[in-house]
Amino acid sequence: DVPAVRTAPIARKRLHTLEARNGVEPTMPRWMPDGKSILFVRFEPDPQGFLHPDLFLWTPAVSPEKSGEVRRITHEADLRDPDPAPDGSWAIAVRNRNGYSQIVRVSLATGAVTDLTEPTVFEVYDQPRLSPDGTRAAFALHRQGAWRLTILEIGGEMTALAPPAGATVSSPTWSLDGRAVFAVVGLRGFIDLWSFPLDPASPPVPLTRTQGAAIAPAPAPDGSGLYYLSLEPDGLDLRRLPLPITETASAPPVDIPASLAPAVRPPAPPAPEPFPESEIAESRPYGLGRQELFPLLGGTAASDGGAWELGVRGGDVIGRFGWFVLGSLGESGWPTGGALAGSLRRWPVELGFHLFQSEEDPEGNLLDLDRQGIELSARWERNWSGDRLRLTGGVLWNDVEPGRTGPSLNQRIASLHGGWGSLRRRGSWRFEPGLAAHFETGNTDGDGWTRAGGVLQLGLGHDDTRLRLTWSRNTSEDVSRAFDLYQLGGARTTLLPDTALSSKIAVPGLPPGTLLGEDHEGQRAELTLGFLPAPVFYERHRLWSSGAAKGEWLTLAGLEYRLALDPLPIGRLPALDLRVGVAQVLEEPFVEEVLEGDWRWWLITVWRP
């Protein structure tokens, strides 16, 4: 028999693993000088949800079962490619922010950032590495169409190390004695490791001669070798080049035909003409910005009627101020009227207004209303890694004319809504808990009342399968008029503000006002399966009044697709909520109007500034 021949290295035992948190993966790791901690970069959201690369320090635990402590060093600093100093108290990094690039120094104790180079849009810095004594930094600098190897004296001047003619340089790292810099050089279609002595009289020396690529050099701590990745036909291999090098990999240059591009580097194009310079106009306050218009078309279509909505949206390109004016034409009791709404996002708290006039005449006259009024609102939202907190307050002045024949009633409502949602990921698993609560206090023609409630939500997902469970409970006190009770059925509409809809339990598969009551309880289970076009849901609701037994459950099951988009100012679009679904009423508590067995369908669009 032929003895077995090992064709690959023995598999290494994994000592420690830092799992991605909420889908945010650690990148650009660098060992600290003590060899006990790892400095790395992770993209974290700011309060508005935009991602920023920041520095973290991971100290692996002694036990493989525990991932150890992770300490966040900077906040919204936009830092990449960190490299710690020899004493471990600070690090050098690249800051790319608002199109500007620069080299900075970061205190690992406080996170304070100090500029080492001026920010510039004409040059790009990449992969800075500190010398063994911490007094100099080597990095790749893109200037005038080419990458160059540059040395920076900390607190002093920069010096360029000339690469071979026609070459591009990347991934610098220092030799142990600090007298040379190893770097990756791309030249005539080949990617190899070169040594760049700091002595200006000594030319750069090639260290490898590969048919694939030699990248990511890293010297051994004792200076005995240089580790690097070698690109082979079957992937990347880790190799070690002994140091010092007695024989260089020099070879006569090969004249490769330019027709082989892009497999080889094509000839450099002629230098472009310089941009003409002109005087920059004096700056002026942005204010509300230049308003851009965009037509809006939407509405509601359902088994029991619907409404067409047509209007115009206006706003500036960065979304500081957005507004729309819209008219609605309803049928079968759905709202008819007009609205003018706007939102100002100049401060951490978003301010809004919503002026409206509507006529509603659903079947039955309890909710036959003419109303007009204005809502003023404020919204505060903050995002963390995997968490979102939202608070919304509103005040509504509203005149309501029930039945179109009775006297007009003066109504005032103050509302407060809060919500928290979270997303936790571990591998392909997702866990999504959420809480929400609301409180309204109102006065209708001199009669005061209150409403309050909450929602608990739990979601669990794996790959493209997800289960979401929701339980809601709402109650009220001293409510005496039908339009102030909780109302089951119908859908939210662009025409009316949130405070005016605070009593509506939106179930678009049911007619508006299907059930009324002082108290409400709802349950919903939603299952998302990858092979279905929309999630499958099962939900039920019951409403009752004080002093009476809890009502019977009204149950539906079907499919519903939901889409929620934030405002897109550069596309001139306001926020959009879209719902498309079909369901069947499985059981109902009515005798007069039998809905059981009916198939219900709906298509809902709701615009928000």
> Does residue 166 contact residue 198 with C-beta atoms inside 8 Å?
no
For 36, the token pair is: 């006990």
Average pLDDT over residues 186-204: 87
CA separation for the pair 597, 17 (Å, rounded)? 54
Name every residue whose Cβ is closer than 8 Å to that of residue 367 and which is 6 or more positions away in sequence.
Answer: 360, 482, 483, 487, 512, 513
Band the pLDDT of 364: cuts 50, 70, 90: low
For 405: left if phi > 0, alpha if psi spans -120 to 50, otherwise beta; the answer is alpha
- Calculate what percentage of the chain has a pLDDT beyond 70: 93
Highest mean pLDDT pick, 154-158, 231-235, 411-415:
411-415
Query: Could you report the per-residue pLDDT of 404-424, keeping only the tens digit for each?
Result: 556 788 999 999 999 999 988
Q: How far is CA 320 from the centre of its chain?
A: 19
For 278, the token pair is: 């002109």
* 110 secondary structure, DSSP code: T
CA separation for the pair 461, 609 (Å, rounded)? 32
Average pLDDT over residues 9-31: 83
Q: What are phi and psi of 455, to 5 degrees?
A: -135, 135
Tell me, what's the pLDDT at 591?
38
Torsion of CA 251, 256, 261, 265, to 10 degrees: 40
For 123, the token pair is: 């040059």
For 111, the token pair is: 């996170």
Name every residue whose Cβ is closer than 8 Å to that of residue 332 and which is 6 or more positions away in sequence.
Answer: 304, 305, 306, 362, 363
> Does residue 383 contact residue 532 with C-beta atoms inside 8 Å?
no
> Residue 333 corresponds to which amino acid?
G
Is it the case that residue 365 has pLDDT exceeding 60? no
Name every residue whose Cβ is closer than 8 Å to that of residue 501 and which is 6 or more positions away in sequence.
Answer: 492, 493
CA separation for the pair 214, 185 (Å, rounded)? 9
Sign of the alpha-carbon dihedral angle for 582, 587, 588, 593: positive
Query: Could you report the per-residue pLDDT of 296-324, keeping only the tens digit for each?
Result: 999 888 888 889 999 999 999 988 999 99
Q: What are phi and psi of 252, to 5 degrees?
A: -60, 145
Residue 324 neighbours by CB distance under 10 Å? 23
Best CA proximity match to 414, nearest among 389, 387, 377: 377
Q: Which residues of 427-441 are buried (b: 16+ CB within 10 A; e: fewer)?
A: eeebebebebebbbe
- Tally of CA atoms within 13 A in the half-sphere of 366 that contains its CB: 15
Q: Which residues of 247-282 are buried (b: 16+ CB within 10 A; e: fewer)?
A: eebeeeeeeeeeeeeeeebeeeeeeeeeeeeeeeee
Is it the case that residue 34 has pLDDT exceeding 80? yes
Is it the case that residue 130 has pLDDT exceeding 60? yes
3-state secondary structure of 82: strand
What DSSP line would sit under 403-472, residue for residue?
TTTS--EEEEEEEEEEEEEE-EEETTEEEEEEEEEEEEEEEETTEEEEEEEEEEEEEEEETTEEEEEEEE
Query: Count of residues for the chain?
Result: 609
CA separation for the pair 426, 387 (Å, rounded)? 15
For 436, the token pair is: 């929400």
CA separation for the pair 584, 554 (Å, rounded)? 11
CA separation for the pair 320, 325 (Å, rounded)? 17
Span of 154-158, 172-176, 286-290, 364-368 with lowest mean pLDDT? 364-368
Q: What are phi and psi of 424, to 5 degrees?
A: -120, 130
pTM: 0.75
For 514, the token pair is: 């299907």
Instruction: Show the CA angle centred on residue 149, arms to residues 148 and 152, nearest 5°.
Output: 120
Query: Could you report the per-residue pLDDT of 382-395, keeping only the tens digit for each?
Result: 888 778 999 999 99
Average pLDDT over residues 336-352: 93
Is it the case that residue 56 has pLDDT exceeding 80? yes
User: What secondary structure, in 3-state letters, does 136-171 show?
Assistant: EEEEEEEECCEEEEEEEECCCCEEEECCCCCCEEEE
Band the pLDDT of 330: cuts 50, 70, 90: confident
**Do the strands 349-360 and 51-59 form a parallel or antiparallel pair, or are they unpaired?**
unpaired
Band the pLDDT of 349: cuts 50, 70, 90: very high
